[in-house]
Chains A and B, each alone.
Chain A
């Protein structure tokens, strides 16, 4: 019994307690209040007080690990020895990078995502921006850095042409991201905003991972596995759609079929276009997501689209003379991407995409058209040592087959112009958090083009510095290149890639529900395609140009309750000497001043969200053959006030109404001129305008699901 007593004694109080004390501070030297300080795997510990101080006693003995944790900070741990002598520790907690108030790479990019705490634009914003008609490009056109080019519908960024913005879905390139449209009418993006939970729109200085884009990269990340079964039905003034999502334990499948027929609508509203058959389209898409193994994720996405339209083009000099134009567009896109975490530090991801696009045109019955198909394969390895160091490298191959055909009416022979291009590239990039206030990302991109046999290496660099809690300065530099437009490469296979060099300076302040940013940039274009002596069949790379400007952005969803608004202003100064330009001149798509206000107000009592967007662009240049100075004329300024309204009478029912150009402005995008002079010796002009000043849209959306609160609001 003596032994027992002794043992009990030993077990309970044989060793003296050790006192552990000290203070917890952050890297700025501020006390961290309420941090959890403890001996790992034991009960012993305490919370730091109002001065960051802590003190506790422990019965543990020998070598142990002291841990300190607090929300928003990285866990601290250090080995200590407990032997009865007081241990005094001064603990410095490092703020968790990229969370809450961390410094982030910001120059040139707008990111939108559900999960990011402080994002400039959320997916819902894209859907609910008035005037955007639920088109991704339409919503992004309310951000600084973009120019309104009403007859195109594409993203024209910082003095760049529409084809200089490239779309990527889950990292994979999309060869033609916009639907077919009649000449001088806006096209819509082929991807519906509801598919994506993350959008990153970069107006310059983007990562080395993205190539073949000299002005802008639009990176769309598709949603992960769906969470619930549901069926959606939409009845629209211009068609109908039905979608269904089926969910299994580890996978989900969503499909959507949409039929668009503008005929009934065009019957009601007078159009400037002399339609034979207004556009109609059938499109379908499907997405399958499945978990593979413990952490792997496989995403498959595919869509098809077939659309057609027929119209008459009238001669400018003699409007009675007309030519029929019949367009049928066939489009398929498929994309597979796979992500596999290898271990805590290593990730592998890869993908494969395939695009097929054909525009078959009949000009007065004469076939003329073009066909492009391409594949993109990519493999990326990512390594994250910790929050301070991330590194990635990857390889990719973009292979394109292009063919244009035309029937020669005299010889009855089918003339063809084609090319095959393979671009093999590799990239590497490292992101280093030098200090909690300073982050840098540097990398490079290597490319080999099989058509030109050219090898290139382009550097990319971004740095950001956050001196205080809110404001952040950033700088980005990069060299970017892309193959010239198909219409040029098909004539001259030896054309080199067009190049742009970006320099960007950015300052931003993002608080909980307010964003302010100002950005200035300079962009130098080289190797642009140029017509030799004005001959469109003789091309070289002698073109060049520049663009510079300042942009402002302000968003506030805090000051007025239930109201969210943003303001964008872009100033652009640009000139190019390329294609048929006789000398450096402002290109026809560039306007000096662009301004937008987007306003959204949710009125709970009416269960209605009201939105309005006002856009302004100063006049755009156009080439007037009656004026000896090239591109020196300007169109009138552009004004547009658009509104939308979403009424939710029931959780699963939405009635949506939108109207563009409420004030019915006669906006003119440019002028077309006759090929020959009229009797008075002058070339006659015709204004390029919207097919109709206004577009009115009404839709009813119904959702069936197990829980009745789900609706299609985010899908609109």
Chain B
């Protein structure tokens, strides 16, 4: 009896461990693709795979996060406005699902702001006001949840910079934000091995326009 109990106990542990390992391995593989893929054709299967992981792992927000990130990348690489909106809708839907699991995840909120920011680029004249104010607000919300989140700061800098540039205003404020973001990128640490790491080079790129 003892042996059986032990073996069931061990088996459960082993399966859980095996599942966790499988999850981490699968995630790592797909995350790498969404970070590096250049085309919609490469991104779509990764987003699909992440959606599958999300459907199996009911308590994890990360698969939704990276699925949304992949959809967002597809939106930036698509040329047709209606398609862009379709990808952005998909990204937002994934973010909403992630928020159901962890409503206070700063990374998810920052990504939501990113979606609004890309939404502006689809039709700046008609959407500028509504979505840029929404993007600003969402970035600030992400920073309230975690002031150390370098991506939220980096994206905020991006948004401030675009606005300043559009109006020909001084870029002092966005540059200061970008500098602060870069510091945070260097100090940012997460216990979560699947935590997002992107955004540093984007901020460095932005800082090249400063001085």
User: Chain A: residues with CB nearer than 8 A to chain B?
Assistant: 1, 3-4, 7-8, 11, 33-36, 38, 40-47, 67, 69, 71-72, 99-101, 114, 117-118, 122-125, 227-228, 512-513, 564, 602, 604, 607, 648-651, 705, 707-711, 713-714
Do B129 and A36 touch (CB < 8 A)? no
Do A38 and B55 touch (CB < 8 A)? yes
9 contacts between A and B (CB under 8 A): A7-B8, A34-B40, A69-B51, A99-B86, A118-B82, A227-B130, A228-B133, A649-B167, A710-B129
Nearest-neighbor residue (CB-CB) of B11 within chain A: A7
Given A650-B167, A709-B133, A713-B128, 7 other A-B residues pairs in contact with their CB atoms under 8 A: A1-B7, A38-B51, A41-B56, A114-B127, A607-B167, A607-B168, A707-B136
Complex CA gap A146/B7 in Å reads 82
Known contacts A8-B11, A607-B168, A707-B133; A512 and B80 CB within 8 A of each other: yes
Complex CA gap A44/B26 in Å reads 11
For residues 107 through 148 of chain B, which have their beta carbon under 8 Å from a beta carbon of chain A?
Answer: 125-130, 132-134, 136-137
The 4 closest A-B pairs by CB, nearest first: A36-B48, A4-B7, A34-B44, A47-B45
Which chain B residues border A124 with CB–CB below 8 Å? 125-126
Known contacts A3-B4, A114-B126; A44 and B52 CB within 8 A of each other: yes
Do A34 and B45 touch (CB < 8 A)? yes
Which chain A residues border B51 with CB–CB below 8 Å? 36, 38, 69
B22: CB under 8 A from chain A? yes
Partner of A227, one of B53, B134, B168: B134
Chain B, residues 94-105, CB within 8 Å of chain A (1/0): the string is: 000000000000
Which chain A residues border B41 with CB–CB below 8 Å? 33-34
Which chain A residues border B8 with CB–CB below 8 Å? 7
Within the complex, the shortest CB–CB distance from B95 to chain A, in Å, comes to 15
Complex CA gap A46/B82 in Å reads 26
Do A714 and B129 touch (CB < 8 A)? yes
B163: CB under 8 A from chain A? yes
Chain B, residues 43-69, CB within 8 Å of chain A (1/0): the string is: 011011101110110100000000000
Do A7 and B44 touch (CB < 8 A)? no
Which chain B residues border A604 with CB–CB below 8 Å? 166
Which chain A residues border B11 with CB–CB below 8 Å? 4, 7-8, 11
Which chain A residues border B87 with CB–CB below 8 Å? 71
Which chain A residues border B81 with CB–CB below 8 Å? 117, 512-513
Complex CA gap A35/B48 in Å reads 8
Complex CA gap A714/B123 in Å reads 14
Do B136 and A602 touch (CB < 8 A)? no
Which chain B residues border A114 with CB–CB below 8 Å? 126-127, 130
Within the complex, the shortest CB–CB distance from A182 to chain B, in Å, comes to 36
Partner of B53, one of A1, A3, A43, A72: A43
Chain B, residues 1-43, CB within 8 Å of chain A (1/0): the string is: 0011011101100110000001000100000000000001100
Which chain B residues border A512 with CB–CB below 8 Å? 80-82
The number of chain B residues touching the other chain, given as a range, is: 35 or more
Do B3 and A3 touch (CB < 8 A)? yes
Partner of B167, one of A33, A35, A117, A648: A648
Within the complex, the shortest CB–CB distance from A36 to chain B, in Å, comes to 4
Which chain B residues border A708 with CB–CB below 8 Å? 163
Do B168 and A43 touch (CB < 8 A)? no
Partner of A651, one of B15, B56, B169: B169
B90: CB under 8 A from chain A? yes
Known contacts A47-B45, A651-B167; A100 and B130 CB within 8 A of each other: no
Which chain A residues border B56 with CB–CB below 8 Å? 41-43
Within the complex, the shortest CB–CB distance from A227 to chain B, in Å, comes to 6
Which chain A residues border B7 with CB–CB below 8 Å? 1, 3-4, 7
Complex CA gap A611/B40 in Å reads 38
Do A117 and B53 touch (CB < 8 A)? no
Within the complex, the shortest CB–CB distance from A366 to chain B, in Å, comes to 50
Complex CA gap A360/B151 in Å reads 62
Which chain A residues border B55 with CB–CB below 8 Å? 38, 40-42, 67
Within the complex, the shortest CB–CB distance from A99 to chain B, in Å, comes to 8
Within the complex, the shortest CB–CB distance from B104 to chain A, in Å, comes to 15
Partner of B52, one of A7, A34, A45, A607: A45
Known contacts A8-B11, A34-B45, A512-B80; A710 and B52 CB within 8 A of each other: no
Which chain A residues border B71 with CB–CB below 8 Å? 71
Do B137 and A227 touch (CB < 8 A)? yes
Partner of B126, one of A1, A3, A67, A122: A122
Within the complex, the shortest CB–CB distance from A223 to chain B, in Å, comes to 9
Do B129 and A651 touch (CB < 8 A)? no
Do A42 and B169 touch (CB < 8 A)? no
Which chain B residues border A707 with CB–CB below 8 Å? 133, 136-137
Which chain B residues border A602 with CB–CB below 8 Å? 125
Complex CA gap A3/B41 in Å reads 47
Do B163 and A651 touch (CB < 8 A)? yes
Max count, chain B CB within 10 A of own CB: residue among A44, A118, A513, A707 = A707
Within the complex, the shortest CB–CB distance from A694 to chain B, in Å, comes to 27
Complex CA gap A708/B128 in Å reads 13
Which chain B residues border A714 with CB–CB below 8 Å? 129-130
Do A43 and B6 touch (CB < 8 A)? no
Complex CA gap A77/B185 in Å reads 43
Nearest-neighbor residue (CB-CB) of A223 within chain B: B130
Chain B, residues 72-90, CB within 8 Å of chain A (1/0): the string is: 0000000011110111011
Complex CA gap A99/B83 in Å reads 10
Which chain A residues border B133 with CB–CB below 8 Å? 227-228, 705, 707, 709-710
Nearest-neighbor residue (CB-CB) of A1 within chain B: B3
Known contacts A34-B45, A38-B52, A45-B52; A117 and B82 CB within 8 A of each other: yes
Known contacts A3-B4, A124-B126, A227-B137; A100 and B82 CB within 8 A of each other: yes
Partner of A117, one of B4, B40, B52, B85: B85
Which chain A residues border B132 with CB–CB below 8 Å? 709-710
Within the complex, the shortest CB–CB distance from A57 to chain B, in Å, comes to 14
Nearest-neighbor residue (CB-CB) of B46 within chain A: A47
Which chain B residues border A227 with CB–CB below 8 Å? 130, 133-134, 137
Within the complex, the shortest CB–CB distance from A55 to chain B, in Å, comes to 13
Within the complex, the shortest CB–CB distance from B127 to chain A, in Å, comes to 7
Do B52 and A650 touch (CB < 8 A)? no
Partner of B86, one of A69, A72, A118, A649: A72
